[in-house]
Amino acid sequence: MRAPTTVWTRDDVALVLIDYQKEMFESVRSEVPDPLIELNVRFLIRLAKVFDIPIVLSTVGVNIGVNGPTRPSILAELPDLKPIDRTSMNAWRDKAFHQAVQKTGKKRLIYAALWTEICLAFPVLESMKDGYEAMFVVDAVGGTSQIAHRTAIDRMIAAGAIANTSLALACELFLDWASPLAEKARPTLTWYLGEVQKLAAAQSA
């Protein structure tokens, strides 16, 4: 297996999104605000589409009536992808989820999930134990408190997972502004930076 510190490419990876549901968003109390988490998840999805990266989307507790579905604005970015609903807090232990990840054929997994300390940390740690490499996007996740969020980040990094941010990941996936990949990504980057400015303006108003 390659050293986990090397730069990742679009050919190596799958995007794994877990539990972006109403109930989870409502309990986020860590550093990245709800609207920015949502925007960053949508940005990750759009990047994955641009770079032909497979996506796995999961929810928890929808079929048993515990939680609602994926937030509509996020689900709207994935009209042809059916979420994998499960009951386990650890998605890695759900058979359908595990099979969906295996089906991507990728051994490097980019994770984003709510909450950091549970539904992100558990599959990140267990997938690495099973021979996968894991990256998580810190500004597309959130925990039920700042200390829970930061403790989970420390735990995952100590285990060998890679922390990244949404925009840095985008740049990592194309690396060269003169490349054909950059040309494909430019409209998505322009959209994202514009939306970030709108959020900043709304917060300062």
pLDDT in tens, 1-56: 444 558 999 999 999 999 999 999 999 999 999 999 999 999 999 999 999 999 99
Query: Are 154 and 165 contacting, i.e. CB atoms less than 8 angstroms apart?
Result: no
Write out pLDDT tens, residues 187-200.
999 999 999 999 99
Q: What CATH code is carried by the domain that includes residue 146? A: 3.40.50.850
Residue with structure tokens 């609903």?
Answer: 85
Strand ranges in 131-200 using DSSP code E only, listed in sequence order:
133-137, 162-164
The three-point CA angle 36-71-40 to 5° equals 25
Query: Are 148 and 136 contacting, i.e. CB atoms less than 8 angstroms apart?
Result: no
Residue with structure tokens 């994202």?
Answer: 192
Q: Is residue 110 a part of any domain in this protein?
A: yes
- Token digits of residue 8: 């990742």
Tell me the catalytic residues: 119
Q: Is residue 143 a part of any domain in this protein?
A: yes
- Token digits of residue 122: 């558990």
Q: Residue 79 pLDDT more than 60?
A: yes
- Token digits of residue 24: 């989870």
Residues 152, 21: Cα–Cα separation, whole Å: 20
Q: Is residue 72 a part of any domain in this protein?
A: yes
pLDDT attached to residue 6: 83
Given CA atoms 102, 39, 20, 121 in this order, what sign does their dihedral have? positive
Query: Are 140 and 40 contacting, i.e. CB atoms less than 8 angstroms apart?
Result: yes
Q: Residue 129 pLDDT more than 80?
A: yes
Residues 136, 25: Cα–Cα separation, whole Å: 18
Residue with structure tokens 């267990």?
Answer: 126
Domain that holds residue 91: 12-204
Give the phi and the psi of residue 53 in degrees, each rounded to 5.
Answer: -95, 130
Q: Return the closest-CA partner of residue 59 out of 81, 42, 36, 77.
A: 81
Q: Is residue 82 a part of any domain in this protein?
A: yes
Q: Is residue 20 a part of any domain in this protein?
A: yes
Write out pLDDT tens, residues 148-183.
999 999 999 999 999 999 999 999 999 999 999 999
Q: Residue 205 pLDDT more than 80?
A: no
Q: Residue 131 pLDDT more than 70?
A: yes
Q: Is residue 31 a part of any domain in this protein?
A: yes
Helix (H) or strand (E) segment spanning residue 172: helix 166-174
Q: Is residue 7 a part of any domain in this protein?
A: no
Q: Is residue 130 a part of any domain in this protein?
A: yes
pTM: 0.96
Q: How many domains are contained in the chain?
A: 1
- Token digits of residue 7: 């730069």
Residue with structure tokens 């048993």?
Answer: 64
Give the whole-number percent of the chain exceeding pLDDT 90. 95
pLDDT attached to residue 5: 53
- Mean pLDDT, the chain, integer: 95
| Mean pLDDT, range 86-113, rounded to an integer | 97
